[in-house]
């Protein structure tokens, strides 16, 4: 899979062209192509081999040739030549908020600044004020920007973003002039990580709201403070942008502020072709400037003869084309989920009893819950011996007799050992209602070995689900490389499901791979991997991944009623 590599080449070229002051539309062409390549569900090497590169939106003759060069040689001559023309380190300067290509170039041309350290030194020595168009204020802003780059501006997990935005929205709602309010941006699109928090408000008194907002106790620093728009930094270094519009513009502003940028550009392009103009205030007839929509999001889409497109799909990954053809999927919803299929108890490394977990699931309205404790080899997680796992089975049977309103499925998260064999014998495995298999050791094996381990597990007639298939852990462990084509094929053939693990730092499979799985005919299962009652709530995150992956209810097996699920679990 060289998709990311190709995208990175094009993004790097875009950066270099920007500093050179090249045609902005050319730069955008590179960025757009890079973005589309990133979200491909197919391997770009395959597409290249089959001569279908120009079918990728934003890729024409020129970029197709460049992709072929990258795939074949791992290098790109055009990039290397360009790099020679742009001094090293100058690109790094653009990481500082407030410094764009123009300023970066100016700093290099006049002061030979390359790199952020150098920039800091020169700013502290007041060498920057006095350059054309730059004075003390800019110098201060640059120093402030450098602090930001050093400490913060890291992306937070979706869960963290949901928590923080919830708090801020609750505070904003208390302001007297706030009418409607909604999260927007990548948070509303439920991206797996979020860089900043965007909030949209309607009010007839925007200035008052902005003035109050920048005085909130969580505000550590004000980045911008205008009449209708303000940006602040919280004490944890998270940027929060708030925008206020009038009631009549709520829908248009929500579309604009939710993005993605690529989705918006695509929409505005369509509007233009239809003689319309879209901005955050509404949809206007270009000639007369008459507003024809704005109040509700659905109205904006309607002016382009489109149905409402759910925020999770707004990435310009084909959702507009699908909407035009009436082929948008009916996305799975949290309320469709009938049970959690990956839950731990105190028998292994969980903190609550089976009964406590089951009762909590019942409270969530589930019909069933699979208790999937760890198997014997995973000592760090107090994996269960054969003897203990059978004792646990007795407890589950007893509970199922007394506990009404929910069915406890006896399950296991069985280790896929380093040679691909499973951590319990078939004699044991056959006693479970549901078997979830997962890799917890030997992450550093080759792509081939890891793929074969998973294939071997899929091949077992007792394995129902492969949990967290790529093993990634946000911030500590990257996803290992797998041959997904082979895995999807085997999973489809054997009716084995792949998990969307909802644990906030996992979200594994991710949206792109989940969508590829669906397109290969594989069904998915969403599990929380909860170790305490509270973590059962992360089901929302898993559903969000599923929605971003275009999954419908039928693509997710734990939307099935108990009877149907049990039928489906027989391989």
Question: Which stretches of the chain bind DNA, using CB under 7 A?
Answer: 23, 25-26, 28-30, 33, 54, 57-64, 78, 94, 97-104, 129, 133-138, 141, 185, 196, 198, 224-230, 239, 241, 259, 261, 264-265, 268-269, 271-273, 277-281
Closest CA to 453 of 445, 387, 296, 511: 445
Least distance (Å) from DNA to the CB of residue 159?
A: 21
Least distance (Å) from DNA to the CB of residue 326?
A: 16
User: Which residues, at least 6 apart from 380, have a Cβ–Cβ distance to it below 8 Å?
Assistant: 349
User: Which residues, at least 6 apart from 508, have a Cβ–Cβ distance to it below 8 Å?
Assistant: 468, 469, 470, 471, 472, 479, 499, 500, 501
Q: What is the token pair recorded at 103?
A: 């300023």
Nearer to DNA, 227 or 564 (CB): 227
Q: What is the token pair recorded at 479?
A: 């996803």
User: Which residues, at least 6 apart from 65, have a Cβ–Cβ distance to it below 8 Å?
Assistant: none
The three-point CA angle 239-106-146 to 5° equals: 30
Nearer to DNA, 99 or 490 (CB): 99
The three-point CA angle 74-92-76 to 5° equals: 15
Helix (H, G, I), strand (E, B) or coil at 211: helix
Distance of CA 169 to the CA centre of its chain: 22
Nearer to DNA, 207 or 363 (CB): 207
Nearer to DNA, 64 or 357 (CB): 64
Nearer to DNA, 244 or 569 (CB): 244
Q: Give CA–CA dist 385/135, Å, rounded.
A: 70
Nearer to DNA, 93 or 436 (CB): 93
Q: Give CA–CA dist 401/238, Å, rounded.
A: 49
Nearer to DNA, 85 or 404 (CB): 85
Rounded to 5 degrees, φ, ψ at 195 are -90, -45
Task: Give 255's DSSP letter.
Answer: H
Nearer to DNA, 101 or 504 (CB): 101
Nearer to DNA, 18 or 555 (CB): 18
Sheet of 465-466, strands arranged across: 339-343, 368-374, 407-415, 434-438, 465-466, 497-501, 524-527
Nearer to DNA, 24 or 405 (CB): 24
Helix (H, G, I), strand (E, B) or coil at 439: coil
Sheet of 291-293, strands arranged across: 276-279, 282-285, 291-293
Q: Are 469 and 508 in contact, with CB atoms under 8 Å apart?
A: yes
Q: Are 298 and 306 in contact, with CB atoms under 8 Å apart?
A: no
């Amino acid at each position: 899979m060289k998709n990311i590599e190709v995208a990175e080449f094009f993004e790097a070229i875009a950066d270099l062209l920007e500093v050179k002051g090249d045609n902005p539309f050319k730069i955008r062409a590179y960025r757009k192509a890079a973005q589309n390549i990133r979200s491909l569900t197919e391997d770009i090497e395959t597409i290249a081999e089959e001569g279908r590169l120009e079918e990728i939106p934003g890729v024409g003759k020129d970029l197709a040739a460049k992709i072929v060069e990258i795939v074949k040689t791992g290098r790109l001559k055009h990039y290397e030549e360009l790099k020679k023309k742009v001094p090293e380190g100058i690109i790094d300067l653009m990481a500082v908020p407030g410094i764009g290509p123009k300023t970066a170039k100016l700093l290099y041309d006049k002061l030979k600044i390359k790199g952020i350290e150098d920039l800091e030194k020169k700013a502290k020595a007041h060498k920057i004020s006095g350059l054309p168009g730059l004075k003390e204020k800019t110098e201060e802003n640059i120093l402030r920007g450098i602090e930001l780059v050093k400490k913060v501006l890291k992306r937070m997990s979706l869960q963290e973003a949901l928590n923080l935005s919830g708090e801020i929205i609750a505070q904003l709602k208390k302001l007297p002039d706030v009418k409607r309010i909604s999260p927007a941006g990548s948070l509303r699109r439920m991206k797996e990580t979020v860089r900043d928090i965007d909030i949209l408000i309607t009010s007839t008194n925007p200035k008052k709201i902005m003035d109050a907002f920048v005085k909130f106790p969580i505000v550590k620093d004000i980045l911008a403070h205008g009449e209708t728009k303000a940006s602040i930094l919280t004490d944890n270094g998270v940027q929060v942008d708030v925008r206020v519009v009038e009631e009549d513009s709520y829908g248009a502003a929500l579309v604009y502020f939710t993005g993605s940028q690529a989705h918006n550009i695509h929409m505005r392009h369509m509007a233009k072709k239809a003689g319309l103009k879209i901005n955050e205030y509404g949809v206007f007839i270009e000639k007369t400037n008459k507003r024809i929509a704005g109040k509700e999001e659905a109205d904006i889409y309607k002016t382009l003869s489109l149905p409402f497109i759910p925020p999770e799909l707004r990435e310009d990954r084909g959702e507009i084309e699908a909407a035009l053809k009436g082929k948008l999927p009916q996305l799975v919803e949290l309320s469709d989920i009938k049970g959690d299929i990956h839950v731990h108890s105190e028998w292994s490394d969980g903190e609550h009893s089976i009964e406590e977990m089951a009762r909590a699931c019942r409270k969530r309205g589930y019909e069933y819950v699979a208790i999937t404790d760890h198997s014997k080899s995973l000592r760090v997680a107090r994996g269960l011996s054969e003897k203990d796992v059978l004792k646990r089975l007795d407890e589950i049977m007893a509970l199922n007799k007394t506990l009404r309103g929910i069915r406890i499925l006896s399950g296991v998260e069985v280790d896929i050992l380093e040679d691909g064999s499973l951590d319990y014998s078939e004699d044991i495995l056959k006693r479970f209602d549901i078997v979830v298999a997962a890799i917890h050791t030997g992450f550093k094996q080759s792509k081939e070995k890891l793929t074969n381990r998973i294939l071997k597990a899929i091949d077992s007639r007792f394995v129902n689900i492969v949990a967290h298939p790529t093993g990634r852990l946000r911030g500590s462990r990257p996803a290992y490389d797998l041959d997904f084509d082979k895995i999807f094929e085997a999973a489809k053939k054997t009716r084995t499901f792949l998990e969307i693990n909802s644990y906030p730092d996992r979200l594994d499979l991710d949206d792109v791979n989940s969508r590829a799985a669906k397109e290969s005919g594989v069904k998915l299962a969403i599990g929380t991997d909860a170790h305490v009652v509270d973590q059962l709530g992360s089901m929302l995150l898993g559903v969000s991944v599923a929605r971003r992956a275009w999954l419908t209810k039928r693509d997710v097996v734990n939307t099935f009623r108990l009877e149907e699920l049990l039928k489906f679990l027989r391989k």
